Amino acid sequence: MSPFNLETCARPNILTLEPYRCARDDYKDNGTNVLLDANENAYGPSLPASMPSSSSGPQIDLLGLHRYPDPHQHDLKQLLCNLRNTHHHTPKAITPDNLFVGVGSDEAIDALLRCFCVPGKDRILTCPPTYGMYAVSAQVNDISIHKVPLLPAPTFALDTDAVLAALSNEKDIKLVYLCSPGNPTGSLLAKEDVRRVLEHPTWNGIVVLDEAYIDFSPDGASLAEWVAEWPNLVVMQTLSKAFGLAGIRLGAAFTSPPIARLLNSLKAPYNISSPTSALASYAVSEQGLATMRANLAKIVAQRDRLIAELPKIPGVGKLMGGTESNFLLYEILDAQGQPDNVTALKVYETLAEDKGVVVRFRGKEHGCLGCLRITVGTEEEVTRFLESLRRTLAEVNGQGGAAAAAAKDEEKKEIAASSVVA
C-alpha cells in the first residue's frame, strides 16, 4: 500500500482553506430565477448579437485558434489606456507599459501577493467589510492579514489614521488592498484618503486600489491614470461588471512600468485567450463603449428606482453605504423594527427558495448587521424583486419575526452566513 497521506503531504494553509463561495452554491440557476446576487450586468455584454464582419471592430479568427494567443496584448492594453486617460488626475498619459492584463482581477490579486509577499512572513492590510478574494488568495499564498475596519456606516469611509498607524507600527505589511467603490458597501473612497496612504513617510509597500465597479460611479472617479504619478500604486479593474463580460474573465492592473514588468514576467505566457482578447477589444472600442454606456444608463435608472421604492416596504431599514455601484446594501428589520441577522437570513432564503429571487446575505460582514446586498437588475427583475420582498417580509415578520426565524435549520444558516462575498 502507498504511504501517501494527504494530511501531511499538502501545505497546512491549503488544508484549512475555505473555498470561495457564492449564493449559487446554495441556489442554482434554473433558468427562471432572478439573479441579483453577484453584481453582474443584467443587461448583457457590450457586444452586438454577432461580431462584426467588416473592419468596424476586432474579429475572432476561429481558423487561427491552433496558434497561441498574443502574450503581450499591446493593442488591447492601448484601448484600455485610451479609456482611462481622462486627465482628471494628472496631465501625464499612461501607456501599455503601465498595464498587466489577467484572468479577471483575481489573477492580479494573486500575482501581487506572489510578487511582493514572502510566504509565512509578510502580511497584507485589508479594510473590512471588503471583497473576500483578498483573504482567500492570501491564505493560498500563506500570507496573514492585518485588518483595519472601515469607519461605520452609512459612510464606510477609510479610517485613514488607523491605516497609517498600522503601517507605522505593524511589521512586514507589504500590500494594502482598498476597494473603491467598496464591495459590499458601494461607497467610493476619498481620493485624499488614498493620497495620504500613498504619502506614508516610512512604509515601503504597495497600495492596491480595486475599482471593479468604477464605471457605475461619477465621471472622473477612476484613479487609474494616477499610476503615472505614484510608483507604488496599483489600480485594478475588470470587464465583468459595467461591460457585462463576466464570462470572458478579463481584468487589468494599471501600475508603474517597473511593477507592470514584474507582473508580466511572472504570469503564464499565454494567459489571455485569442477569443477573450477579441471580445474585450471590441467592448472597449467606441462601438462597445456606446453599448456599455446605454446599458449603464438603464442600470442607473433602476438603481434610482430601488432607492426610491425600498424604503416604502415595511421591514426594510436604512441604506448602508453608497450608491456608486450596481448594487445596494440595505438593512432588513425584525418585527420590532431592529436590524437582525436571523430575519435577514430568513428573507434571503425565502426569496430564493419560494420566490426564485436570489440576492446576498451580508449580515456576517463587519458593520453589516441584518444586511442584504441587492444587485440592480433589469426593469422586469426589479419589479419582481420588489413585490417578492414585500410579500416575504410580511410573511417573515408576521410569523413572530426573529423568534420564528431562529428555528430555521442551523446547518444551512451557517453555510449561507459564512459565504465569501462575490
pLDDT one-digit tens code per residue, 221-271: 999 999 999 999 999 999 999 999 999 999 999 999 999 999 998 898 899
Would the pLDDT of 308 be above 50?
A: yes
Domain boundaries, the chain: 8-37+292-417, 66-284
Output the nine-digit C-alpha cell for 339: 436590524
Q: Does the pLDDT value for residue 55 go beyond 80?
A: no
Q: What share of the chain is helix, strand, coil (3-state, %, to 5)?
A: 40, 15, 45
In contact, 167 and 175? CB cutoff 8 Å? no
362/349 Cα distance (integer angstroms): 13
**Average of per-residue pLDDT across 87-103:** 97
- The C-alpha cell at 285 is 472600442
Q: How far apart are CA 337 and CA 84, in angstroms?
A: 45
Strand 123-126, strand 173-179: pairing:
parallel
Cell numbers placing 170: 505593524
The residue among 264, 5, 11 whose CA lies nearest residue 140 is 11
Q: Among 334, 341, 342, which Cα is nearest to 316's? A: 334
> Which range has the worst mean pLDDT, 28-37, 40-49, 185-194, 286-295?
28-37
The burial class, CB within 10 Å (0-12 / 13-18 / 19+), for 244 is buried
Q: Tell me which CATH code domain 8-37+292-417 carries.
A: 3.90.1150.10
Amino acid present at 73: Q
The domain made up of 66-284 has a fold known as Aspartate Aminotransferase; domain 2 (3.40.640)
pTM (predicted TM-score):
0.87
Compute the mean pLDDT over every residue in the chain, rounded to the nearest whole number. Answer: 89
